[in-house]
Amino acid sequence: MEQISSQGKKVAIFGYSQAKKEDKLYQEAFEVCRILAQEGYTIVNGAGPGVMRAATEGAKAGGGKTIGVAFKSEGMSNFEGRDLENKVDELIITDNYLERTLKLLEIGDVFVIFNGGTGTISEFGMAWGLARLYYGTHEPLILYGSWWYEVMEVFGKNMKLRDEELRVYRIVDSPKEVLEEIKGLIG
């Protein structure tokens, strides 16, 4: 496998593993990553199916590089596992889900979080928590989709959040907005 230069900016993508090619979610993730790759960003994802594969395919369509982070999932009956059709340039294998998530968060310079299930919620929660802990030097979070406004409003209304926790993310609704936010946040 080709080694990726650590000099380029890396965008970690999180989202629904069950998204299919015909789904709007899959197509949006593809397009976001195509545009980002054209601008020189390396795309990082969990090396699985759905949004993760869409991210890799989009990056390849944009002439970009990809890094996948998977884990040894033996004995798990409810995990989609490594998608061999997700043809990343560099593959990192960790021992478990927690290490995989931490590695994705370590590698990414910015996180784009699409709609997803409990895995995506878990990844978002860790990214959001780290952003609060390292506020001011944190990696930015970009939440893709206008439906996030309602989710974040409910969190803000019902949870015991600090002001900075509500300032560490941006909500966008188009691939172009993702690119604009990333350029404004990390260059």
Residue 4 counted as domain residue? no
CA distances (Å), origin 66, targets 27, 29, 33, 122, 171: 18, 14, 10, 22, 24
Our count of domains for the chain comes to 1
Which domain does 150 fall in, by range? 10-181
Joined together, the tokens standing for residue 125 give 């929660």
Q: Is 137 exposed, middle or buried (0-12, 13-18, 19+ CB in 10 A)?
A: exposed
Q: What is the pLDDT of residues 54-74, one digit of tens each?
A: 999 999 999 999 999 998 876
* d(C-alpha 54, C-alpha 15), whole Å: 10
Whether pTM exceeds 0.85: yes
Within a domain: 152: yes
Question: Is 90 exceeded by the pLDDT of residue 84?
Answer: no
Structure tokens that stand for 184 in this block: 């404004």
Kindly report, residue by residue over 132-164, the tens digit of the pLDDT: 888 888 899 999 999 999 999 999 899 898 888
At residue 111, the 3 state secondary structure works out as: strand
pLDDT band at 185 (very low <50, low <70, confident <90, very high): confident
What's the average model confidence in pLDDT over 178-183?
94
Would 80 be classed as within a structural domain?
yes
Write the single-letter amino acid at 111. F
What CATH code is carried by the domain that includes residue 153? 3.40.50.450
Task: Categorize the per-residue pLDDT at 76 as very low, low, confident or very high, splitting at 50, 70 and 90.
Answer: low
CA distances from 102 to 17, 54, 77, 106 (A): 18, 21, 22, 6
Backbone angles phi, psi at 83, to 5 degrees: -100, 110
Residue 79: φ, ψ to 5°: -130, 135
Distance (Å, rounded) from C-alpha 93 to C-alpha 46? 10
- The rounded mean pLDDT for the chain is 90
**Overall average pLDDT of the 108-132 stretch:** 95
Residue 2: inside a domain: no
